[in-house]
């Protein structure tokens, strides 16, 4: 059975940096968020366009989040992992899964791959500023209330439960170079031990 390392953490914690490092170390990277974004564009394209161009009260990340919530409500909290199965099964080496959000997703992956979970921890005050500064999906207009609501939404998906049972934790508390060096060290070790 192949090996996968799933990364989890609250929005803005640094998961995308970790994913880039995983790719450079040699992992095949699979993005759960890409699956959600693609399916949102297919199913809710008009609503997404309105949010993108300021023709609604939503920003695109709200639309993606609501779509993800609705799909989990209809199909169960493990649905996004099922959308990733083919991509993971087609890999012949260690896989890095970006964006795990629930114990049910982990259980779904564990049906066909050995999984560890890496939690990226960053304080809320830093994450809020990082989200606004990255200016993705119109997030520069993000309010602190929206930020708190996003964390609550992800907890409803099971994020806090998954974090409690993660296998590894790396703290991202401000020094970007130190954070990246810690990530490189951890990921190289895991990649080499499962190649």
Could you tell me if 93 and 195 are in contact, meaning their C-beta atoms sit under 8 angstroms apart? yes
Domains of the chain, each with CATH number or no CATH: 3-194 (3.40.50.300)
User: In this predicted model, what pLDDT tens digit does every residue of 123-175 receive, in sequence order?
Assistant: 999 999 898 887 776 667 778 898 999 999 999 999 999 999 999 999 999 78
Mean pLDDT of the chain: 94
Kindly tell me the burial class for residue 52, based on how many C-beta atoms sit within 10 Å of its own C-beta (0-12, 13-18, 19 or more).
middle
Residue-wise pLDDT tens digits, 12-25 = 999 999 999 999 99
pTM: 0.92
- Residues of the chain above pLDDT 90, percent: 86
Residue 115 class from Cβ within 10 Å (0-12 exposed, 13-18 middle, 19+ buried)?
buried
């Amino acid at each position: 059975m192949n090996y996968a390392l799933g990364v989890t953490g609250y929005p803005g914690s640094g998961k995308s940096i970790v994913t880039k490092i995983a790719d450079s170390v040699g992992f095949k990277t699979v993005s759960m968020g890409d699956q959600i974004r693609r399916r949102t564009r297919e199913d809710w394209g008009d609503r997404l366009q309105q949010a993108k161009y300021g023709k609604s009260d939503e920003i695109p990340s709200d639309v993606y989040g609501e779509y993800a919530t609705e799909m989990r409500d209809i199909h169960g909290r493990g649905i996004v992992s099922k959308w990733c199965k083919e991509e993971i099964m087609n890999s012949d080496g260690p896989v890095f899964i970006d964006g795990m959000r629930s114990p049910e997703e982990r259980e779904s992956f564990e049906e066909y791959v050995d999984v560890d979970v890496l939690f990226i921890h960053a304080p809320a005050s830093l994450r809020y500023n990082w989200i606004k500064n990255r200016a993705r999906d119109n997030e520069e207009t993000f309010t602190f209330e929206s930020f708190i609501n996003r964390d609550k939404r992800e907890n409803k998906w099971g994020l806090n439960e998954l974090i409690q049972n993660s296998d590894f934790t790396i703290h991202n508390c401000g020094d970007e170079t130190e954070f990246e060096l810690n990530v490189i060290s951890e990921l190289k070790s895991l990649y080499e031990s499962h190649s």
